[in-house]
Every structure is written in C-alpha cells, then in structure tokens.
Amino acid sequence: MNAQQTSIYAMFTRTFRVLDDNKAIWSANSKFSDNYTTFSNNIKGIGEAQKQQETDKTGITQDKGTARETLAELSFEMASGIRSFAADNNNQELELSVKFTEAGLASMAEARLTATSEMIYAAGAKNLVDLSEYGVKAESLSALKAAIDAFKSAQPETRLAINTGSQATTDIRKLFTETSNPLKRQLDTKMIIFKKTNLDFYNAYFQARNIIEPGVPKKKEEAKK
C-alpha cells in the first residue's frame, strides 16, 4: 500500500472499531447490519492482501539474497584455488581471468555474476585433475554448479514476484473502492438515524471517518455529516 492508502486503511479500521463497539445500538437494523458485514469483509480482504504482498516480497528477497551469497562464496573459493594453481605454473592468462574478490563477486549484477561464476566453473572443470591440492575437487564443482542453478532459478521467481505484486496492487485498489462505496453511500447516510437518539455514537463515527494525511497534523474530513 502507498502512503495515501495506508492513511485511508487506518480510517477504515478506526471506523470499524467504532461500529463494532456500538453493535448494541445498530444490530437490530438489518440494512445497517448488511452494510456493516460488507464493510467488515472488505477490510479483512485488504489486510490479507497487504499481508500476503509483504510476505511474498520478503520471502523472495531473502531467498535471492541467500542464493547470491552462496554463489559468491563458492565462486571465490574456486577462483582462489585456480588462481594459486595458475601462479605456481606461471599461467598469467588463467590467473588474471579468475582474479576476483568475494565482495566484488557479491556486488555484481545478476547477469554478470552468473556469467563469471560459469566461467570460473568451466576453468575448474578444465583443470580439475591438477587442482586437488588447491582445494578444488569434483564435489567443489558439484557445489558450485548447484549454486549457479539455484541463483538462476531465483531470477524468474523475482520477475514473478514483481508481476504478482502488480496484480496485488490492482486487487488492493479495487478493494479500496469496494470498501469506500458502502461507507459513503450506505453507512454514512444511515447514520442520521442515530443522530438524535445516540449522538455520542454518531459523533464518534464521523470523527473516525476523518482521514489523517501523511505528514499533515490536521485532519481532512473524508465524510460529510
């Protein structure tokens, strides 16, 4: 949710609490009760959509971050072994081709990190027979290959998360409209029923209906009494 939606959602929840605290006053009115039920269900829908949106974003970010860290670490370990082997054999071309720091690998763009790790893997596979004493073995190659594959697979998930987030944004926007309409056109207009008999409830309701704008101390009246 953006800042404006967050402020409106806060208004929704305040209004809901006022209505919920005063059920004894309006529960006998079936039409008011129906409007309240619709309003309540929509608020729950917004909350669930927003929560799912944040959960998806957090989960994808954490998985992708872990995959990147693992790939950078394993790539650096293999590159270091290859580099040491190359130095011992005065193979400057090979030595320079795998001259990376772990931090440098971790900070690379996705495509570059993938390509660099695959290059390091290929160099390791090509010289495997001579790399055992440098800490590069068959299991090292398997681990790096698995890390490369895991990092690659995280990229489509990230794109899917972006698409899913866009859909969630659309859904939330729709729910906001579906929640505002019953308030303005139904509950607000029915509140006049209680103005003479339950003035405190009436005033509390419309006080809750004020939207507090982000960074603005004064309240903007969203509903007209």
pLDDT along the chain (225 residues), means of 10: 84 95 96 94 85 56 75 96 96 95 91 94 95 94 94 67 56 85 91 95 96 61 46
Q: What are the b/e assignments for 64-93, b being 16+ CB within 10 Å?
A: beebbebbbebbbbbbbbbbbbbeeeeeee
- Eight-state DSSP code of residue 84: H
Give me the helices (H) in the chain, please.
3-21, 23-26, 30-88, 92-97, 102-106, 110-126, 138-182, 188-190, 199-208
Q: What pTM, to 2 d.p., does this model score? A: 0.49
Tens of pLDDT along 118-127?
999 999 999 9
pLDDT at 168: 59
Give the residue among 104, 103, 86 at the shortest CA–CA distance from 95: 86
pLDDT at 72: 95
Give the residue among 200, 206, 199 at the shortest CA–CA distance from 220: 206
pLDDT at 173: 82
pLDDT at 66: 86
pLDDT at 212: 81
Q: Which two tokens stand for residue 218?
A: 């004064």
Tens of pLDDT along 108-144?
988 899 999 999 999 999 999 999 999 999 999 999 9
Give the list of residues 6+ apart from residue 48 with CB closer than 8 angstroms, or none. Answer: none
Give the residue among 12, 17, 23 at the shortest CA–CA distance from 45: 12
Residue 98 to residue 86: CA distance in whole angstroms: 9
For the chain, the distance separating the N- and C-terminal CA atoms, rounded to the nearest angstrom, is 28
pLDDT at 220: 46
Burial of 171 (0-12, 13-18, 19+ CB in 10 A): middle
